[in-house]
Amino acid sequence: MSTSKKEETARHEKAKSLVVVAYRKRWNDTLIGKSKAQDAGVFEATTNAQNPLAKTFYGRPHLQELVSLSDDAIVTNHLPLIKHLATQRETPLRGSLVDRLLCGQYVLFSHDLDDMHALGLGSEVDLDQDEIDPWKPDSYPRSVLYDDWSERVGGFNSAFLGVLMKSSGEPFSKSERQQIAETVYSNVVGNDQGELWSFGFHLAGERTNQVVVTITNDTDGYRESLEDTLCELDPLTLKLIAADVEPLRTDEESPFFNLIEPMTQSLPEASDKTILEILRSCVRNAPDAYDLNGVERVIGAHFFGGRRYYHSYAESTDGVGPYDFFHQV
């Protein structure tokens, strides 16, 4: 074996050892009360779900499960982190570094998006198998004033590609994956309503301990997904939307003003086909993000509870489609 190969192997083995040591120290200390449990607010979940998740995760039965894992199981659950540590030759391998990466509730791997085409890789990500160099891990959330999903997009950042893992390395349940999608969506849209954000959530291959998150600001894709959703609506829903839009056609303060050609009849009295084509034209012709958001708020109030889930997608082997993710993933 060459010297470089020996050094590579030795570094990999040291990375494995440090991860196991850091893992056991954290969860043993938590079990015996030497280290405090994380606050419920750090869980990637809606407010109502955070406390139950924290109670279960930091309950004694679960902590005992964590500390009873074999070294091999710990290594298997943390392969992406071990790969990263082993390949960063310019960074000295120290226990303090690994402790910092595993001190949060999650580990978030962020992709270096110098190459924007990397977003197209989102559906093929598998950190256990992929080259690890473009990915940078960090504990999530970090111990700073603001560390959320909206901080990762906006400004000069029009896209984000990341992989979220639990610091314990365990799988995410279906309900936990749903909660992640809910909170990422709500956080980004709630903090930047003037932009047109689209989202993607899915597992990394068959690995249930890696959730891939993509966030993009894509006006054309946004319009297309809204048009596609309109095409799937039943006639009754179209009529309800038409009734809401009708009084806004001549309102100069409305986003629909001048978007609909003059008609001899009211919009609700038009045929289903005509209503659909008019609504689609409003989506296509809204001049900017602000107006498109206004159009969407009116017509979107009649489906998905007014929430813009049709701009999110999920890919999986069991056929979960873009509009089912929040209910079936």
Looking up tokens 């710990």 gives: 74
pLDDT of residue 157: 72
pLDDT of residue 122: 59
193 φ, ψ (degrees, to nearest 5): -75, -10
How far is Cα 127 from Cα 8, in angstroms, rounded to an integer? 19
Angle between helices 289-299 and 235-245 (to 10 degrees): 120
Residue ranges in the chain assigned as alpha helix (H): 3-31, 47-57, 60-67, 71-77, 79-87, 95-101, 174-191, 219-231, 235-245, 272-285, 289-299, 325-328
Q: Are 213 and 127 in contact (CB under 8 A)?
A: no
Burial class (CB in 10 A: 0-12, 13-18, 19+), 105: buried
Pick the closest to residue 169 from 201, 210, 126, 205 (CA basis). Answer: 210
pLDDT of residue 188: 87
CA atoms within 13 A on the CB side of 66: 26
Looking up tokens 């799988």 gives: 171
Which are the contacts of 319, defined by CB distance < 8 A and separation ≥ 6? none
Beta bridge partners of 154: 157
289 φ, ψ (degrees, to nearest 5): -60, -40
pLDDT of residue 320: 38
pLDDT of residue 324: 41
What is the pairing mode between strands 159-166 and 207-217? antiparallel
pLDDT of residue 14: 96
Cis before 141 (ω within 30)? yes
Using DSSP's 3-state secondary structure scheme, residue 198 falls into: strand
How far is Cα 205 from Cα 202, in angstroms, rounded to an integer? 8
pLDDT of residue 53: 96
pLDDT of residue 143: 72
Which are the contacts of 267, defined by CB distance < 8 A and separation ≥ 6? 242, 243, 245, 246, 249, 260, 275, 278
pLDDT < 50 regions, the chain = 116, 315-329
Instruction: Say what the pTM is.
Output: 0.82
How far is Cα 147 from Cα 306, in angstroms, rounded to an integer? 27
DSSP string, 203-264: EETTEEEEEEEEEEE-HHHHHHHHHHHHHTS-HHHHHHHHHHHGGGTT-TTSTTTTTS---S
pLDDT of residue 322: 36
pLDDT of residue 220: 83
Give the model confidence (pLDDT) of 284-329 as tens digits.
999 888 888 889 889 888 876 666 666 665 544 343 333 344 333 3
